[in-house]
A = this chain, B = another copy of it.
Amino acid sequence: MASRDREQSKCCFKEWMELQEQDLSELLQALKLDPQNKDRLKHLAEKGICHFQDYINKRTQLARRDVSAFFAPTWCTSWENSLLWISGCRPSLFFRLVYVLGGSKMESKLSEFLQDTREGSLGEVLTCSQLVVVNSLQSKTIREEERLTGELAALQEDIADQPIAMIAKGLSQLGEMNREVEEALDEHGQAMVRILEEADQLRLNTVKELVNILTPLQAVDFLVASKKLHLCVHKWGRNRDQKLGRENLED
């Protein structure tokens, strides 16, 4: 039996995935129907960011009640969980996506030029000045990511320090619970919540700043790729588990 908290956390995630599917359809439709309508694209990109902000706010509330559930969610597949960095994707991943999209755009522009066909990319190649700003944001983001990685490492090592390790060593009955244990674990949990909040904020700010640097068309292209990737990772993990008879997931 899952607790009410875990049930709510699972619902919160499921709603977020469904909302991302809806947002993705809207983005794809806008690209198809009128890719020159900058105001419409801009509005949709902002709407996507608002939804991300809402999701983060909701899960922060839930994490305050049960933070460890978010570090290896039982509602995700093991494969998804093996890709997690502090309960979500690495912020540096957004840059890899921007570069690979830019790269594929450049390649398709080149083939367009060489073959003189009109098909190809919807977005535009990143300009040099955009690349400079993206690159500087990337450096700043990686520094923050490394800082948080270090903080998580320190918190994980704290388990082997005072008071936790010494409480464990002093217990005559292994795993016994008492007020001292509860207090030490509660304090550790609170520190985990703070790291999760900072990591979520870094993910959100990275997406926000990238969307500001990109043109509306590029921003929508980036959001489409990032949502498709997230949804695919979720579904691929599930498909492979089903194929191999590994259906441990709660549906």
Q: State the A residues within 8 Å of B (CB).
A: 1-6, 21, 24, 66-69, 71-74, 77-79, 81-85, 89-90, 92-94, 96-97, 100-101, 104, 149, 153, 156-162, 164-169, 171, 174-175, 177, 181, 185, 192, 224-225, 228-229, 231-240, 243-248, 250
Contact = CB atoms under 8 A, between A and B. Distances in A.
Contact of A236 (B71, B149, B185): B185
Nearest to A162: B100
Given A93-B156, A156-B90, A232 B68 contact: no
A68 B81 contact: yes
Contact of A153 (B85, B159, B177): B85
B82 A78 contact: no
Contact of A81 (B71, B237, B243): B71
B69 A233 contact: no
Contacts of A66: 78, 244, 246
Given A85-B153, A244-B5, A231 B174 contact: yes
19 contacts: A1-B247, A3-B245, A5-B246, A6-B248, A68-B79, A69-B78, A72-B78, A72-B81, A81-B81, A83-B159, A90-B157, A92-B153, A149-B153, A165-B225, A165-B229, A168-B233, A174-B228, A177-B236, A177-B239
Contacts of A165: 96-97, 100, 225, 229
Given A93-B159, A156-B93, A161-B100, A229 B174 contact: no
Contact of A225 (B153, B168, B243, B250): B168
Nearest to A6: B246
Given A21-B174, A68-B82, A104-B166, 5 more contacts: A2-B248, A168-B228, A169-B224, A169-B225, A175-B234
B159 A233 contact: yes
The 7 closest A-B pairs by CB, nearest first: A175-B235, A71-B82, A72-B81, A72-B72, A96-B160, A168-B232, A68-B78
Residue of A66, A78, A244 with most partner-chain B CB within 10 A: A78
Contacts of A185: 79, 236, 240
